[in-house]
Amino acid sequence: MAPRNAIRTSLHGESHGGVMDTATSRYGSFYNEKVAEADLHSFRKKGPRPWTGTLIEALKAEGLEGATLLDIGGGIGAIQHGLLAAGVASVTSVDASAPYLKAAQNESDSRGYAGRVRYLHGDFVQLAESVPPADIVTLDRVINVYPDFEQLVRLSAERALRLYGFVLPRETRTVRVVIRAMNLVLSLLRKPVRAIVHPVDSIDCILRENGLSPHFSQTVGSVWQVLVYRRL
């Protein structure tokens, strides 16, 4: 959903049918209450991080009054809060980390959005059949942390009625060097996580197969790329 300001990492466990059985428990332990509280404190003090803010503004430019949002792996809910303020009517928030969901709900309630957000705890791929479509689907630094990213992209794209926005690490030499260094540190610390950069071309292919076409792309700093696809 690895340092909070660096590249999010993938949580590895035993897999059956391409789905990580232990994803929910591992995310809950790695992205725990301490991490969630720190992220929420930073958000309240500084607002959304630059890449998240760029995605929010790109989506707001499309006109969101009365729209529905599916936010997958949204952490403390920065996208949710920003788009609810911009006119989104309701949100479904899916996250494998219970502490993040709790932090997102606390912040949402404090902003007066109680009752407009449905919170689902678990692995989106496992829950997908019970998650309704939405006008907007967002994944902020989520695709690159999920081992079976093709399945995640396919299932989430199927639920995007209008817009599909996401943030990924750029495919550059510098980013790959950083990832290798992170993986070495994580291995030495015996953490059950590894960083991944998935190819943008593969993601683009899946999105196009599901009727979505590129609409917006912007790099943010040396690491992040923000993309929005629109349904044809």
Neighbours of 225 (CB within 10 A): 20
Q: Is residue 1 assigned to a domain?
A: no
Once rounded to an integer, what is the mean pLDDT over residues 39-48? 96
> What pLDDT score was predicted for residue 16?
36
pLDDT tier for residue 130 given thresholds of 50, 70 and 90: very high
Overall size of the chain counted in residues = 232
Q: What are phi and psi of 114, to 5 degrees?
A: -55, 135
pTM of the model: 0.88
38, 209 in Cβ contact below 8 A?
A: no
Q: Is residue 2 assigned to a domain?
A: no
Once rounded to an integer, what is the mean pLDDT over residues 43-68? 97
Would you state the structure tokens that stand for residue 178, as one six-digit string? 């950083």
> What pLDDT score was predicted for residue 32?
80
How far, in Å, CA of 121 to CA of 152, rounded? 16
> What pLDDT score was predicted for residue 180?
83
Tally of structural domains, the chain: 1
Share of the chain above pLDDT 70, in %: 85
Q: Is residue 205 assigned to a domain?
A: yes
* CA-to-CA dists, residue 150 to 78, 172, 209, angstroms: 25, 21, 12
How far, in Å, CA of 50 to CA of 197, rounded? 20
> What pLDDT score was predicted for residue 11?
44
pLDDT tier for residue 27 given thresholds of 50, 70 and 90: low
pLDDT at 20 over 70: no
Higher pLDDT: 73 or 27? It is: 73
Q: Is residue 4 assigned to a domain?
A: no
Task: Write down the residue that tokens 């044809």 correspond to.
Answer: 232
Give the domain range for residue 45.
9-231
Tens-digit pLDDT profile for residues 161-172: 999 999 999 988
- Helix, strand and coil content of the chain, in percent to the nearest 5, comes to 45, 25, 30
Tens-digit pLDDT profile for residues 137-148: 999 999 987 888
How far, in Å, CA of 38 to CA of 24, rounded? 20
Q: Is residue 3 assigned to a domain?
A: no
Nearest to 31 by CA among 71, 51, 1, 54: 1
pLDDT at 4 over 60: no
Q: Is residue 56 assigned to a domain?
A: yes
Q: Which positions ≥6 away from 95 have C-beta within 8 Å?
A: 1, 27, 72, 73, 74, 75, 101, 104, 119, 120, 121
SS3 22: coil
Give the domain CATH number at 104. Answer: 3.40.50.150
Higher pLDDT: 210 or 181? It is: 210
> What pLDDT score was predicted for residue 23?
62
pLDDT tier for residue 193 given thresholds of 50, 70 and 90: low
How far, in Å, CA of 218 to CA of 58, rounded? 10
